[in-house]
Amino acid sequence: MKATFSFSTAVACLGVMLGCGGGSDEQPAPGNGGDSNGSDNNASSNSGGLLTVSQKENESSEYIILDTLTDQFDRAKAKANAEDTLAKHNDIDAMVGLFAYNPPLILEALKQGDKLGKVKVIAFDEDDATLQGIKDGNVHGTVVQNPYMYGYKSIEVLAKLKAGDKSVIPESKFIDIPAQQIRKNNVDAFWADLKAKTAGGAKPAKVDGKPSFAFVSNGVASFWTIAGVGVHKAGADLGVNTDVLMPAEGIPDQKRIIEDLISRKIDGIAVSPIDPTNQTELLNQAAAQTLLVTHDSDAPAANRLVYIGMSNYDAGRLCGKLVKEALPKGGKIMIFIGRLEQDNAKLRRQGVIDEILGRDHNPKRYDPPGKELRGTGK
């Protein structure tokens, strides 16, 4: 059969070549046409196969929190989590480390994977590697607590309570030591102040006949070394005996430390509970025998006298703001944290999530790990 080529056929072919589709007379935006065959691989029935500028902006401004990975204070596991994330999510945009040791290990994984500076890092706490990363431009920013004051204030409060001064306990039973954001524009000043406070460290004074107080952390980290300097400085200023104890083996180790302090009839304990929900009985045993305060992580169900620290939820939201600064158009994010059994970790992580996704202020909200979360940040 002889092929014919009419004028109408030519017009139809020309329409295909120009990328017109489905009867729409909307023209494609420059640079967004179909392939050389006239087809459009991103076809859409209501826009001639093309995303409008507003659609692209909306799509690119979505924040996707892939998951939250825990390590149970195991540094090797923490680094492996970062390495696995880079292997499984080649298009990851940001990695958020919420315990002091997480950001330095993330930086190590990025350096080994040749992605340093290509993936945004948002941090928590003031590890030297994190602060140096901010100076070098490899960390966007960090939210810092004030571990020095956690230590100093804990001993100060215990000493005053031992002396019979109950006015140190506010009605809220919460002594707020606010967090702050550190970026490249203020990292030098912050670091210089931190070095001045901790220069030379501080050794516990032994004062015969004076009260003895113990400061118990929830693990071993540079954060607690800084807190220890504050503890011993307070001891020296107030003329009391101080001890800093860091459980290296998690909950069992912290339990052993507290039980030992009770048996020694210590005058007061300041503790950051690792698992406050399941440690209530232990903490109440301590509170029945001595002065008990919590710091860093609270145990509101226990008979502690006061909590010394910050609002971890609000601090988490400060960290979330840093994430949105680093990724103004959205992106894929992974969160890294030691564990979620303790109060401070849950609240901190939730604050980060709520701020990134643009949710209202609600410290009682909890998103379990293991599922992807999405939001526009507004």
Residue 60 pLDDT: 52
Mean pLDDT across 208-224: 94
Q: For residue 304, give both structure tokens.
A: 């502690």
| Distance of alpha carbon 86 from the chain centroid | 18
Residue 97 pLDDT: 98
Q: What is the pTM assigned to this prediction?
A: 0.76
- Give exposure, 59-81, as e/b (b: 16+ Cβ within 10 Å): eebebbbbbbbbbebeeeebbeb
Mean pLDDT across 39-47: 37
Q: What angle do CA 105, 110, 111 make, to 5 degrees?
A: 95
pLDDT, tens digit, 9 for 90 and up, residues 271-288: 999 999 899 999 999 999
Is the pLDDT at 101 greater than 70? The verdict is: yes
Helix (H) or strand (E) holding 7, with range, is helix 7-17
pLDDT, tens digit, 9 for 90 and up, residues 301-329: 999 999 999 999 999 999 999 999 999 99
Q: What would be the CATH architecture of the domain defined by 63-145+312-375?
A: Alpha-Beta Complex (3.90)
What single letter denotes the amino acid at residue 33? G
Domain parsing of the chain, residue ranges = 7-50, 63-145+312-375, 147-309
Range scoring the smallest mean pLDDT among 24-33, 227-236, 291-300? 24-33
User: What does each C-alpha distance from 301 to 39, 189, 284 come to in angstroms?
Assistant: 64, 39, 9
- Residues 316, 351: contact at Cβ < 8 Å? yes
All residues at 6 or more sequence positions from 151 whose CB lies less than 8 Å from its CB, including other chains: 215, 226, 227, 228, 229, 230, 231, 232, 233, 234, 244
Phi-psi map region of 134: left, alpha, beta (phi>0 left; psi -120 to 50 alpha) = alpha
Residue matched to tokens 């701020």:
355
The CATH class given to the 147-309 domain equals: alpha beta
Q: Where are the alpha helices (DSSP H) in 199-342?
A: 222-238, 251-263, 280-289, 312-326
